[in-house]
Amino acid sequence: MAAISVQDLAIGFGGSAIQEHLTFQVGTGEVFLILGGSGCGKSTLLRHLIGLQAPMAGSIEIAGIGDPLDSIAGKPAFGVMFQSGALFGSMTLAQNVGLPLRRWTNLELSTIETIVRWKLRLVGLDGFENHLPSEISGGMKKRAGIARAMALETNLLFLDEPSAGLDPVSAVELDELILTLSAGLGMTIVIVTHELESIFKIGSRCIMLDKEARGIIAEGDPRVLRDDPPNFKVRTFFRRLPAGGI
Amino acid sequence: MCPPPPRSTCRAWSAWTGGAAAVLAEAWGDALRGGAAVSFQNASGEVGSILALYTERAARDCLRPPPKRESTLTQIGRETVVKLVVVKRILAFIGHMLQATGSALRNPRTLNWEGIWRLMERHGTDGAPIALLIAFLIGLITAFQASVQLAQFGADSLVADLVSLSLTRELAPLMTAIVIAGRSGASIAAEMGTMQVSEEVDALRTMGFDPYRYLVFPRLLVLMIITPLMTLLADGVGILGGLGIAVAQLDVSPLSYLLSVRNALDLWDVFGGAIKGVVFGAIVALTACERGLGTTGGAEGVGRATTSAVVAMMFYLVLADTLFAVLFNLYGV
């Protein structure tokens, strides 16, 4: 059964579409990647999938909740990690991760503290509960963002460029974490990225968007697309070839 | 720009910079677009590689159609759309705020009271010393100026009346609101703007929090409470400032000054100032939050939003004060 079903979606700003006729499905338990060059609309598509922006046309259906736009004001059915982690600067990591639990559960404070400690432990941040976001590295902020996204035990995670801007070691550690979460918890994870190493390591399936074509130019297993690219643009992307620049 | 000669020999050039290559490539591109066949010959080594790098791009640009110039009508249309988008954003903000206020008033227990107390401390207690110091100085200056002018007519006994009435009716509410706008309003706009550009507001929404209820309403509530309270304190402190001048310069006893103040003021003078404070507090909070949440474009955008918020707050405060003056005059209060 599909965790997410996207049908003939058009996305954009101010009445002009940047991507049109997007149709794809994300299977339950998949690590699904949204790929493409800078400015092609990957993050905009993600904003639509999580209900922050209304589609210009078409529909998005998330299993169990329906249209994400309708569910945005209620209890979250999915977790989201934003590119910068988007942690609240005035709160400690524990308060950040505990925020959705305090909002949506009636658990005792001590229970919430235990859950938060374990969530942070799962992402390798045990011992950092009382640190402020300004006191930790970029990679740690992203890990804390993932811990907060998992706080409400949802089975669907959206990650926006998780390894962007990280050093190679932190990026690999984050990739390992994503694989662990996917395998260990059976989560469906949708990731926006253009980091090739991560793509081949963690992605089970992907779609590739293109700015000029304003649509999906490839869909499938990223390793297969790399070895047998269906068109020139996919080839240049996966093999890091210049598309006309230096 | 003048095109270069049709044939250019580069043999004599042994070294040059990317800047020189850029100027030459620009001229070369212009010449190509003009239909001239120009080529560089004998460029080798460093000169050759830099020239190749720049001219390759110039040649590529020549293949693209030149960008169309926007007509005046298009520019007017585009600017109109930009302004309409701002109006739409403000209307949407007002709608969201009304909804959030209604929801908060229906379920006050669900508000983040701990956060509200923290905001009270940050915007109220922490900001009080500077607001009150300014009120004291305003009272002192007003009394000083009044004593000099009124003495010419032998009416220096009216200093207490002038100071107390001008402070409670006009100066204390407006000056307090301006200090709160400069201190708390700017800080709120910058805080909201930073949260907006760092996706914290989006993160709140995806966690099921309404940013208007969670972020804006508490700030609105706090400023609507602390601004009138601070105005009342400013009334008292400003009158004390006037007392200093009256005692030091006019040989008026403190008791007689205070008695004059009591006789000059009626309850409405003080109460009217407090009502202004409530409205001014709302203006500062709503303007700061609206500009902050409308921030786009990173750190520069936060700076722009903060500046815009402070300017807008000052204008709205003076405009609201003018409306109050007209209304109070209309109803004879």
Contact predicate A205/A221, CB 8 Å: yes
Q: Which residues, 6+ apart, have CB-to-CB distance to A241 below 8 Å?
A: A235
**What are the residues of chain A with a beta carbon less than 8 Å away from any beta carbon of chain B?**
14, 47, 50-52, 72-76, 78-80, 82-84, 86-89, 99-100, 103-104, 148, 244, 246
pLDDT, position B2: 46
Are the Cβ atoms of B208 and A73 closer than 8 angstroms?
yes
Angle made by CA atoms B3, B9, B15, in degrees to the nearest 5: 100
pLDDT, position B1: 47
User: Could you read off the pLDDT of B214-268 as tens digits, one per residue?
Assistant: 999 999 999 999 999 999 999 999 999 999 998 888 888 899 999 999 999 999 9
pLDDT, position B139: 94
Cβ-based contacts under 8 A for chains A and B: 50
Structure tokens at B134: 């300014």
pLDDT, position B11: 59
CB contacts, 8 Å: A88 with chain B: 195, 200, 203
- In chain B, the residue whose alpha carbon lies closest to the alpha carbon of A84 is B198
Are the Cβ atoms of A100 and B199 closer than 8 angstroms?
no
Are the Cβ atoms of A52 and B207 closer than 8 angstroms?
no
Q: How far is B35 from chain A (nearest CA, A)?
A: 24
Contact predicate A101/A152, CB 8 Å: yes
- Among the partner residues A50, A73, A104, nearest to B210 by beta-carbon distance: A73
Structure tokens at B102: 């209604």
CB contacts, 8 Å: A80 with chain B: 202-203, 206
Average pLDDT, consecutive stretches of 10 residues, N- to C-terminus, chain B (333 residues): 54 68 81 77 76 76 74 92 90 92 86 87 93 95 90 84 94 96 96 94 92 93 97 96 89 90 92 96 96 91 95 97 93 79
Comparing C-alpha atoms, which of B147, B151, B127 is closest to residue B139? B147
**Mutation choice for A interface testing from B60, B199, B209, B212 by most A CBs within 10 A:** B199
- DSSP lists the bridge partners of residue A158 as A80, A190
- pLDDT < 50 stretches in chain A: 245-246
String of b and e for A166-203 (b: at least 16 CB within 10 Å)?
Answer: beeebbebbbebbeebbeeeebbbbbbbbbeebbebbb
**Mutation choice for B interface testing from A48, A83, A88 by most B CBs within 10 A:** A88
- In chain B, the residue whose alpha carbon lies closest to the alpha carbon of A69 is B206
Domain ranges of chain A: 1-78+155-162+187-246, 83-153
φ/ψ bin of A186: left (φ > 0), alpha (ψ from -120 to 50), beta (otherwise):
left
Contact predicate A107/A160, CB 8 Å: no
CA–CA separation, A16 and A56 (whole Å): 9
Q: Please determine, for the modelled complex, whether the ipTM score is greater than 0.85.
A: yes
Q: Which residues, 6+ apart, have CB-to-CB distance to B193 below 8 Å?
A: B291, B292, B293, B295, B301, B302, B305, B306
CB contacts, 8 Å: B208 with chain A: 72-76, 100, 103-104
CB contacts, 8 Å: B203 with chain A: 80, 82, 86, 88, 148
pLDDT, position B18: 75
Looking at residue B75, its amino acid is: Q
- Among the partner residues B203, B209, B210, nearest to A82 by beta-carbon distance: B203
Collapsing DSSP to helix, strand or coil, A159 comes out as: strand
A88: which DSSP letter? Answer: -
What DSSP letter does each residue of A192-214 carry, written as one string?
A: E---HHHHHHH-SEEEEEETTTT
Are the Cβ atoms of B208 and A83 closer than 8 angstroms?
no
Q: Which CATH architecture fits A1-78+155-162+187-246?
A: 3-Layer(aba) Sandwich (3.40)
- Among the partner residues A51, A76, A82, nearest to B199 by beta-carbon distance: A82
Are the Cβ atoms of B208 and A80 closer than 8 angstroms?
no
Residue B25 neighbours by CB distance under 10 Å: 22
